[in-house]
Chains A and B, each alone.
Chain A
Amino acid sequence: MKRRSMLLLGAGAAGALVVGWGVLPPRSRQGRADTLPGVDGEVGLNGWIKITADGKVLLAMHRSEMGQGVHTALAMLVAEELDVSLAKVRLVQAGRDTLYGNVAGFVAALPLHPGDMEPGHETRGVKAGRWIVSKFARELGINMTGGSSSVADAWDVLRLAGATARTQLLGAASLQWKLPLAELVVADGVISHPSGPTGHYGEFAKAAAVTPASTIAVKEAKDWKLIGKPVPRIDLVAKTNGSAGFGIDVRLPGMVYAVVRHCPMLGGSFGRIDSDAAMKLPGVERVVRLGPYAGSTDGVAVVGRSSWHAKQGAQALDIEWRAPPAGVLDSRQIAAALEATARQAAATQGGFAFHAAGDVQAASAAAARRIEAVYHAPYLAHAAMEPINCTAQVKDGKVEVWAPTQLPGMALALAARTAGVSEDAVTLHVTYLGGGFGRRLDIDFVGQAVRIALETNGRPVQLLWPREEDITHDFYRPAGAAVMQASIDAQGAVTSLAITSAGDAVTPRWMERGLPALAGPVDLPDKTASEGLFDLPYGIANQRIAHAATHSGVPVGFWRSVGHSHNAFFSECFIDELAFETQKDPVAFRLSLLADMPRHAAVLKLAADKSGWGKPLPAGRARGVALHESFGSIVAEVVEVSLADGRPVVHRVVCAADVGTVVNPAIVAQQMESAVIFGLSAALYGRIDIVGGVVQQTNFPNHPVLKLADAPRVIETHLIASSNPPGGVGEPGTPPIAPAVANALFVLTGKRVRGLPLVV
């Protein structure tokens, strides 16, 4: 016992030396051998890894696969350290332990400025802030897939888990064979010694579980066999033959189906509901009033033999609608109010200043020229291809839930509260997600499914939202407005930048819904409202970047790249305006402001180089550029655009990116393409209009998104080689696309479009 403790302490010290300053949270997230219970001869080695009797590696998968390739990327990290092929790694659902919580995603909520957090040169304040938040996030242990944080969060944790397991397995073989551990080699999970002995991991797993690891060292980059390689994704066979199990595909014996209908008015409720006609329809069996989720819009569900029968029933309900007592919402009025708020705050130095440097007013007073522009962005829906759904069964005091969710722990807690049982009585299965984009960071549908399951006599029920409910009752990307002001001196240099934006803050609204215990009576400043504005890399001496938080009453949520999604449009279009106002080339102008930010400059140069920036284009085509950092990654995009019948056509997109260490370049390229096309749908078509409290867009015919014929034929991705820890990949490609296209349109038309979607 004593020896073991000492060895573990030694292991800790070695780990600390290897992994460095950030070791404390990763090491506290290893779990014990019994965190992952083994069945059928499986042996748990820590909270992440079990070994099967035949030598396969089972990885506790805590993150949700919604297209971003996270299952493949995380499996690669443990396969690398364990020296097994990816084919030997199987995923099992992670449990409820807080070690599966997301630390990196919450640390990213700190409003830090890029100048203070250059990797390897972080200021003391940045280090201290990150340490405190990481401790807090570790305690909270919220399992969240979002914020492009999964690989960054798992980078140290999973490699350490893999390296520890490998050392234990080798230690067990070393003891059994009485041969020095250092002389053992591993090939695809088979341990051998040059003198002859050989055996796979499964043969040593039991002994390994009680063999403390001696010296643990994660591999050096030069020894990587998987990390950095374009390894094929592990989920694609199932995604090409119809067998991939999404939430909507759960089928259980005796299952019934439910379809929801909400009050069309956001925040509205129901009076009388006449269900006689619905109940007379064949295959319809009951009507369940759901109540509003976290103070939002009231809903009712109809249960039937199939989703179609339930939908017929839902449509046949005769409902008396009630407008919200606070009055009905109108997006045009909100847009006008946002602009007025931003103008007022700009005039009075109001709002919360997320970044301030120098003296903007003095620079403005001394300026030769002052440039001002006002930008706008609309509400946006997510419209993931898999409509909102969830399956639940409440039987004998137990609850079982099958959910396509980005937030399994909070979903489980909501299921328990809804059913009035303890969390121990709930089992939650995370299915594949048919797209998330942030919509599935809300868990309203999980509560609804359990609520209905309470009334289906122990039978499982699958709740489905028709597409119309999805588009009209989303948690929308907030609308925004920004007043952009710059000063230019007599030599044509930009001396000040003031940005004053207005819009609803997403995080406090989301906290009220999902974590009311942590939501205070007063909203704290929400970094996501100003991200992409306050954290610009440009060396402009005098800056004041502020946000005035509004409270429109429209349900708002996280949408792929969150604040960056519209703020990058504001900032990168305005930077382009300044380039043209000072008669400089847009790339050269940006580079002149990036003298202190070499990583940003390198990304921009790479994009310019690969796109042929400055070289002639066919008549009628123009290039536009944008550079933006988000989620720890820097992306520059150069687009080639023309106009066809007055509509922008994007022919080619060249992405250059510094995403830190690249785990899988093929997935990074895939995500850049994805982010570009998702952002292009929003840039060209995306808008949600609310009239009389009712969202006007309902389904794809009146909520168009990009289709194959309109998609760029070419989207190239060029990556900067980096040894920094991995940054985000799923979102950072989205912010630059709208401003890049808008900047190209300016070249084509000579007219600045300062609102989204882009209408020429």
Chain B
Amino acid sequence: MDLSVNGQTRTVADAAVDPSMPLLWVLRDVLNLTGTKFGCGVAACGACTVHLDGQAVRSCVTPLASAVGKPVRTIEALGTAEQPHALQKAWIAHQVPQCGYCQSGVLMAAAGLLAKNRDPSDADIDAAITNICRCGTYPRIREAIKTAAKALRGGDTGASPRAAAAA
């Protein structure tokens, strides 16, 4: 089975997986892309959020079969060390993460929002970011999204050309 992950074709041995296996576990346990997190297994917390065909989805309930043939983008390709995504820069500027476990999912959900909406209102952010963070980074997440949106409106690239190609 071939998957397109972060701009690369990754071949997954049929014997290693099952078509109903959630994409989350294929990413984490088969491809060792551990940036995407397991939090609840029932699409309630958003820690597993990745982009599938440009849309933010919860990979813990996304069967592998439905991801085949569509580009998958994970936190590992949101930006690069040389050219971080505007959200990653804003996350550092606002000192958002604490334990950091939920942040991959929050960043991918926020990137999904900003890809469609470069000037999100508070209500837009409320609706798009339904992820759970037990450290309580929510007020900083809100402000960091606004900062990143402003940077993107001002011409900052959302991602490096390499990361953009991955999407």
**Hey, which bits of chain A sit against chain B, CB under 8 A?**
65-69, 232-233, 235-246, 248-249, 251, 257, 282-283, 305-309, 383-387, 432-437, 464, 466-467, 666, 670, 673-678, 680-681, 699-701, 705-709, 711-715
Contacts and interface: CB of A to CB of B under 8 A. Distances in A.
Contacts of B132: 385, 700, 705, 707
Nearest to B127: A709
Q: DSSP class of A's interface residues: helix, strand, loop or mixed?
A: loop
Contact of A699 (B40, B47, B101): B40
Contact of B39 (A307, A437, A467): A467
Q: Considering the complex of A and B, which 7 residue pairs feature the smallest CB-CB distances, nearest first?
A: A242-B35, A677-B136, A434-B101, A239-B100, A67-B99, A67-B98, A306-B29
B44 A466 contact: no
A678 B39 contact: no
Contact of A708 (B29, B75, B131): B131
B77 to A, nearest CB: 9
A570 B89 CA distance: 43
A242 B75 contact: yes
A232 B131 CA distance: 25
Contact of B92 (A240, A248, A309, A384): A240
Contacts of B129: 708-709
Given A241-B88, A282-B18, A708-B138, A385 B35 contact: no
Given A432-B99, A673-B137, A674-B137, 18 more contacts: A232-B95, A233-B97, A239-B100, A242-B104, A282-B18, A305-B29, A306-B29, A307-B25, A384-B101, A385-B99, A385-B101, A385-B135, A386-B39, A387-B38, A467-B39, A700-B132, A711-B136, A715-B139
A385 B47 contact: yes
A305 B42 CA distance: 21
A283 B98 CA distance: 36
Nearest to B21: A308
27 contacts: A66-B99, A68-B98, A232-B92, A236-B95, A236-B100, A239-B100, A240-B97, A241-B35, A241-B76, A241-B84, A242-B76, A257-B29, A307-B28, A308-B22, A308-B25, A385-B132, A386-B99, A434-B102, A435-B134, A435-B135, A673-B137, A674-B98, A674-B135, A674-B137, A700-B132, A707-B131, A711-B136
A714 B101 contact: no
B139 A711 contact: yes
Contact of B140 (A69, A249, A308, A673): A673
User: Which of B28, B98, B139 is most buried by chain A, counting CB atoms within 10 A of its CB?
Assistant: B98
Contacts of A714: 139
Interface residues of B, number: 61
Interface of B: 16, 18, 21-22, 25, 28-30, 32-42, 44-45, 47, 74-76, 78-79, 81, 84, 88, 91-92, 95-104, 107, 122, 125-127, 129-142
A228 B126 CA distance: 34
Contacts of A387: 38-39
A241 B79 contact: yes
Contacts of A246: 37, 101
A386 B78 contact: no
A385 B78 contact: no
B138 A707 contact: yes
B136 A306 contact: no
B41 A466 contact: yes
A308 B48 CA distance: 14
Contact of A701 (B30, B35, B44, B126): B44
A309 B136 CA distance: 32
A242 B36 contact: yes
A114 B136 CA distance: 30
B20 to A, nearest CB: 9
A69 B98 contact: yes
B86 to A, nearest CB: 12
A305 B25 CA distance: 11
A306 B23 CA distance: 12
Nearest to B15: A282
A715 B142 CA distance: 13
Nearest to A251: B32
Given A242-B75, A306-B30, A233 B95 contact: yes
B92 A673 contact: no
B29 A385 contact: no
A128 B122 CA distance: 55
A701 B127 CA distance: 17
Contact of A700 (B33, B44, B101, B107): B44
Contacts of B81: 241
Contacts of A242: 33-36, 74-76, 78, 104
A701 B91 CA distance: 28
Contact of A383 (B92, B98, B126, B134): B134
Nearest to B89: A240
Contacts of B36: 242
Contacts of B141: 708
Contacts of A708: 125-126, 129-131, 133, 138, 141-142
B67 to A, nearest CB: 14
